[in-house]
Amino acid sequence: MFDTDSSILSVQGLNAGYGRSQVLFDCTMGAPTKGAVAVLGRNGAGKTTLLKTLAGELEPMGGSITFDGADCAGEPTENRVRRGLGYVPQDHTVFRSLTVRENLALGAMADPKSDGFDMALDFFPKLAGRLDQEAGTLSGGERKMLAISRAILGKPHLLLLDEPTEGVWIGVIEEIADRLTELSKEISLIIVEQHIELALRVADYAYVMGRGAMALEGAAEEIKKHPDLVRYLAP
């Protein structure tokens, strides 16, 4: 795992779930100050539950979460966001009845004087021609771009992305992957992704989950060649 001195996130012995149903068991992981980390695993392995717990949507049953040097296990989501945590959930939650411009404006509320709006449009140029279009009329790939751009406008230090290319046309997948690779040079990313090759191309480090626990971890290049990888990813 990463050296604590170079990590923006350190998770130790994390347990979490829904009500009395425990999903995560003794999960330990980290993320660097800059760079991308992939979290892989078949459906039901606990990947989304992990991100929800890191984002503060679920309260841990045990263990610790240290974000940017401070314990945040009991901290509400809004406090984590103010301290630099961004989260794009699997359903990407754009405001469908608002225009692209209005969605982006909501993302920029944390720092209305910043030049981030132009940066977001440079990041995904397709959105520049959709500013006055309602978000609900965008394609699936465009809505993903909008959700990521809106999160970036909050200027996060750590951005959690749950299935950023799910249901997206292959040409758009490549564009999103390229942009995330660029972004990882500036901030920290944790990416849950079903496209294994894409995830390991963007990420420098990877964790593989199995039945709510971390089964494998290592440099992305090492994980690609790990003999047990198929065992944890096969349907």
Could you tell me the pTM of the whole model? 0.93
pLDDT digits (tens, 9 = 90+) for 8-48: 999 999 999 999 999 999 999 999 999 999 999 999 999 99
77 and 25 co-located in one domain = yes
- Whether residue 4 is predicted with pLDDT greater than 60 in this model: the reply is no
70 and 103 co-located in one domain = no
Paired with 207 in beta bridges are 39, 217
18 and 61 co-located in one domain = yes
- Percent of the chain's residues with pLDDT above 90: 72
Range of the domain at 221: 4-84+156-233
List strands edge to edge, sheet with 158-162: 85-88, 158-162, 188-192, 35-40, 205-210, 213-219
CB atoms within 10 A of CB 20: 6
180 and 228 co-located in one domain = yes
Domain total of the chain: 2
**Average of per-residue pLDDT values in the chain:** 91
